[in-house]
Amino acid sequence: MLAFSAMISPDSAARIATLADECVKCGLCLPHCPTYALDATETESPRGRIALAAAGTSGVVPAGFDLRLHLDHCLACMACERACPVPVHYGALLVETRAALPPAKGRPRFLLDLLSRPRWLRAMSWLARLSLARLWASTAARALLPKESALRAAIALLPVLPRESKVHSSDSRAAATRSTVALFGGCVQGVFERDAQNVAELLLRAAGFDVTRMDNICCGALAAHIGDVDRAQHLAAQVRNAFARSGAEALITTTPGCLGTLRAALPGTRVEEALGFIAAQADELKFKPLNARVALHLPCTQVNVARNGEAVRKLLARISGLKVDVLPTQAQCCGAAGSHMLEFPERAAAYREKVLATLPRPSPDILLTSNIGCRLHLAAGLRIRGDGLQIEHPLTLLARQLIA
């Protein structure tokens, strides 16, 4: 095997070296990093990964050292970037270094590729439904496949997959008093999060926006993650074209996990996460009171990329009578992290246990979380525990309480 430095283009090596140079090695990011909290080793820390990427470009990392593994253990939660005083552009460094490395061997590329293709995903979901797989497949997978199997992790999600619903788009252009916004379709969210997209549209229209629905196109994050740069760029171009056709002034995603990639694909365009956008733009929305207790899980990308966790909490506080317990977020990724829950199921389960352990007692009525990956991963964990706690997108609760 060739050393990383022998394979990388000079341009890419220079960009990685420049980004890595930003780090002053202070270590202030370490207490915020979930992988460091799990492993307590420098190679599983932001500072260590930056040093590894820099060492790789200069040829110090010997051939055979699994640089990619340490980078791929990263959950891309961006807690380090948020905590960094410089700030180091860790996200850009991670994307650039992953793209420069050859694809990892022994990873479930077919499965990850499938996730980014909504048509295939819908066909597989339809087949799973037809064969009643949610009733028997996860038991069979547990008996036949090893714990670290990505296929076993994917099959474990079948019983918690939401039923695929239709797009409910109400054409009320005449009623719109504000600008047009485009609702991002996406891949996994485009198939399994249509209910959240439908209620986002309802809330946005109630706030006076005209809403146009974009096709189900993946943002490209999964392709970038597995080092398929061409496909990631192709998908980014498709997103740009679809947004240009929409005629909208802003792009809204109901899943904060897509936000960073969408912003990178559409520089100069307003790209927002739905809850934060509604919290900032929809003061006039009124909600019915609700006497209930909810636990609010804030996905890493909500806190560190959208950076609007507080706005989400304030939006929910507009439902009078609702008691909201916010789960702690420091060094706490639930482990879903895009494809991480399939690529490293045992590590992902360890992160999940830490988050589930923070659920308040007595149990809340509902667990809220806005990322489809977090929702599926946490729901699978609750199912393993035999805990029937209901889990849903905060938008679903808000729409239920909306006074029309």
Residues that bind ligand SF4 (CB under 6 A): 23-29, 32-35, 46-47, 49-50, 74-80, 84, 86, 88, 90
Please say which residue, 77 or 155, places its beta carbon nearer to ligand SF4. 77
Please say which residue, 20 or 100, places its beta carbon nearer to ligand SF4. 20
Please say which residue, 88 or 242, places its beta carbon nearer to ligand SF4. 88
Q: How far is the CB of 53 from ligand SF4 (least distance, A)?
A: 11
Q: How far is the CB of 30 from ligand SF4 (least distance, A)?
A: 7
CB neighbour class for 146 (10 Å; exposed up to 12, middle 13-18, buried from 19): exposed
Rounded CA separation 244/103 (Å): 32
Q: How far is the CB of 92 from ligand SF4 (least distance, A)?
A: 12
37's CB contacts (< 8 A; 6+ apart) are 31, 331
Rounded CA separation 29/159 (Å): 37
Q: How far is the CB of 182 from ligand SF4 (least distance, A)?
A: 28
Please say which residue, 97 or 216, places its beta carbon nearer to ligand SF4. 97
Q: For residue 397, which phi and psi values (nearest 5 degrees)? A: -65, -45
Please say which residue, 50 or 248, places its beta carbon nearer to ligand SF4. 50
230's CB contacts (< 8 A; 6+ apart) are none
Residue with tokens 């040829």: 59
287's CB contacts (< 8 A; 6+ apart) are 318, 319, 320, 398, 401, 402, 403
Please say which residue, 47 or 213, places its beta carbon nearer to ligand SF4. 47
Contact 366, 397 (CB under 8 A): yes
Rounded CA separation 399/37 (Å): 37
Rounded CA separation 89/107 (Å): 27
Q: Strand, helix or coil at 287?
A: strand
- CA proximity to 269, closest of 257, 245, 251: 251
Please say which residue, 141 or 374, places its beta carbon nearer to ligand SF4. 374
Q: Maximum CA pair distance of the chain?
A: 64
Q: How far is the CB of 80 from ligand SF4 (least distance, A)?
A: 3
Q: Strand, helix or coil at 292?
A: strand
Please say which residue, 93 or 155, places its beta carbon nearer to ligand SF4. 93
